[in-house]
Chains A and B, each alone.
Chain A
């Protein structure tokens, strides 16, 4: 279970890599990243390749990030999700609010 952030200043892009169960236990770490001034960027990539499971608080965290990234104008790509996680994101209609790659 981990969450790490890297920033590509040249492209003004932040990548957040999440692994394990993406649930309420990550809330504190995720919020820490959100409040880090370094985490402000024009584009976000959430790498969920190593995420085993998500719950509704994870969806909530993604919504918080979306708000920080400019709400309707946010440029966020959720990448490398497993099929069952894509299914859950789609059930929540997140494909209309995020780019799911």
Chain B
């Protein structure tokens, strides 16, 4: 440890010096204040012993100068005084001195003071080091946030800005949102909306948001259905995000005619559909894991299809809405959110009321998470894009006529589900992006009806209770195993009809036929145990006709109207 002694008396210096050397300190000597300042700069000592009365520059001035030079750095200065000089103590402390020593020198006292002060210096130094580190980290975090914010703004900007039928309220908890809203039209005039909620905020969220938005916009522009998009997004996010991070997301896809809406909800609050007056018509709860958790083979792309009139409002929100707390720390929760849409309300609920109600509730409370509330209007007339592009829709695609038939005997029915196969075939023949999920629904429904009711003669009323549901599948497995001499034929034909394009789907089974009228359940049963029902198929298709016996059905699916 280096000690600087500033003392004009040769004798005093030698005495002090020899004491310090005895304690193994390195000693630097200065004969006056100016020299002390110079040697401080030159040697950077750990402690300074400073006499007050010196020629050229006195101890007060030198102390002041050295303290100024040291800035934030702590350099302990001990002034040396005689008893008679005690009145000058205040002045020396005001100049910046940290402690004092009385003459004549006492070796023990000097040593003790040096130890005590160097301990304080150490503390001061490590504090300063931490502060510097923290300041540096803060600065770094700030600049990273700025980058992330830029990325987010850029990513989000190209999305919904042009969509007149989407309203949004997005309030981030930090500088910017971990929630993302992506929305775009499909080439055929429908549109896709995704509301995503990444774990975390800042850069971590942005890492996933960039590829997510690219995939969403590119695939939507190419006409892929949301089923295809969620699979791709999940795969990419599964690959790039750490295991403990994911993106909860809800998707809706509304077709160009506003007759059906496909929904995929992965770990987001219920998606709400209301009529034009704000009455609840439907809600779709989460039935999937968030994006990025499951490997592709475990991932479930199953979507719900709801029918539309073309005058609904669809509400999506992030779980920050449910997590908002009031002054008593009670959560807003799904209950309050759903209560907004209760049908006996005097005043119909709209976008503004939802936002007002939430913040009215949480007015004295806390909001810990990003909050997003989205309203999508299914009315074509408020969709500026649709109005502008009406004439272009459907004319760009080069479409060809084709037909394909495939039939399955008892053996192959036991082994395969032909529907995905059929669909892949269709995709291979002709690009009908954006219609895949709907065709899948139609084909699945017909095929299931033919197999379960036509060939296996199962009673669908069994499915009205959970126990019966189980029984239904036990029976199904048993009868399927015993099945012989049966056949299901599927024929699909794509052709030009009345200036537009249609796919005609014909499904026939070798069974006795079944009471298809029984199957015409209303869409209210959609969320029940009995599946989607023929009524939904009628919403998706232009026409659906069963023969009298009930073993043959023909549906016309129109995908490019004039």
Q: Chain A residues in contact with chain B, CB under 8 A?
A: 55-57, 59-61, 63-64, 67, 72, 84, 87, 90-94, 96-97
Contacts and interface: CB of A to CB of B under 8 A. Distances in A.
Contacts, number: 53
Q: Give me the 7 closest cross-chain CB pairs, A-B, nearest first.
A: A60-B244, A93-B289, A92-B267, A91-B286, A56-B199, A64-B244, A67-B243
A92 B289 contact: yes
Nearest to B266: A93
18 contacts: A55-B368, A56-B197, A56-B246, A56-B319, A59-B199, A60-B244, A60-B245, A60-B246, A64-B243, A72-B298, A87-B334, A91-B285, A91-B286, A91-B319, A93-B286, A93-B289, A94-B289, A97-B293
B267 A57 contact: no
A58 to B, nearest CB: 10
A87 B368 CA distance: 19
Given A64-B243, A87-B334, A91-B269, A97 B248 contact: no
Given A60-B199, A92-B290, 6 more contacts: A56-B199, A56-B248, A63-B244, A67-B243, A91-B268, A93-B266
Interface string B281-305: 0000111111001000010000000
Contact of B200 (A57, A67, A87): A57
Given A56-B199, A60-B244, A60-B245, A93 B334 contact: no
Contact of A61 (B244, B333, B368): B244
Contacts of B298: 72
Contact of A57 (B244, B287, B288): B244
A46 to B, nearest CB: 15
A90 B266 CA distance: 11
Interface of B is mostly: loop
A92 B333 CA distance: 15
Interface string B314-328: 000001000100000
The secondary-structure label for the interface of chain A is helix
Nearest to A24: B200
B266 A57 contact: no
Interface residues of B, number: 27
B369 interface: yes
Contacts of B290: 92-93
Contacts of A97: 289, 293
B243 A91 contact: no
Interface in B227-257: 243-246, 248
Contact of A92 (B200, B244, B286, B334): B286
A60 B288 CA distance: 16
A61 B288 CA distance: 19
Contacts of B333: 84
Contacts of A60: 199, 243-246
Contacts of A92: 248, 267, 286, 289-290
Given A63-B244, A67-B243, A57 B334 contact: no
Q: Which of A57, A61, A63 has the most CB of B within 10 A?
A: A63
Contacts of B267: 91-93
B299 to A, nearest CB: 11
B285 A57 contact: no
Of A84, A90, A93, chain B has the most CB atoms within 10 Å of the CB of: A93
B29 to A, nearest CB: 52
Contacts of B331: 84
Nearest to B290: A92
Contacts of A72: 298
Contacts of A55: 323, 368-369
Contacts of B197: 56
